[in-house]
Structures are given as C-alpha cells and as structure tokens.
Amino acid sequence: MHIYNIGYGTCEESDYIQIYHKQKFTKSEFETIVAGVVIKVLRGMKPMERKRVTFQKILYPVLQELTKKGFSRVKFDAEFDVFGWARILDENDWGTDRDEQLNFLTRNVSKELKK
C-alpha cells in the first residue's frame, strides 16, 4: 500500500485527504494522474463554471474520480486533531472552540508539568 496526500490550503482553511493505492507512483506521476482527473471533472462542468472554479470546489469530485482509478481513502485507527489556535495550557483560551481532545491534552499536560 502506498499513501498519497491530496488537498488544498488557504489563509483561512485547508482540507487534506490521505489516499492509498497498491501501485507506487512518483510525485510527477501522481501529479499527472491528478491533472488528468481534474481535466475530466472540469469537462463535466459548464464553460462559465470552469472559469472561476477552484481546487477547493472540486476536491471531492476529484477524489471520486481517483477512486475509479484504484485509489481509496486511508482509514485511520485513531486521530489526534485539535483546534490549533488555542493555548495548550490555558483551558479557558478560545472557550467553546476547544474540543474534547484539546481539553484532554490540557488536563494531562498541565498535571504532568506540575510534578
């Protein structure tokens, strides 16, 4: 199994998805595969839509096409994914934007650092 990353990043958000394939591709080969799939997705759109389309808008249709080429989404056994702007050691920083994993981290790290 060979793992590949596909997604986008902006100043405000990002979305990266890990996919795998039984075959190993070089960076250049993978980029060529993605470009071919993007062409297919764009050809399915109206010409006026195509002009202003961003990769953000077509990421999931591109993923659907990649699955037709033998790619599958990676299924994680566990994830650690928290809100990144809140201070780790301040349980009140960013209030309700904090999630349970971040609160768990805060409690455990604070407790250990006090020893």
Q: Answer yes or no: do 97 and 64 share one domain.
A: no
pLDDT, tens digit, 9 for 90 and up, residues 20-55: 999 999 999 999 999 999 999 999 999 999 999 999
Give how many domains the chain has, as a whole number. 2
Q: Answer yes or no: do 53 and 104 share one domain.
A: no
Q: Is the pTM of this model over 0.85?
A: no
Give the Cα separation of 51 and 49 in Å (integer). Answer: 6
21: containing domain: 2-73
Q: Answer yes or no: do 57 and 87 share one domain.
A: no
Q: Answer yes or no: do 19 and 65 share one domain.
A: yes
Residue 115 scores a pLDDT above 90: no
Q: Answer yes or no: do 8 and 61 share one domain.
A: yes
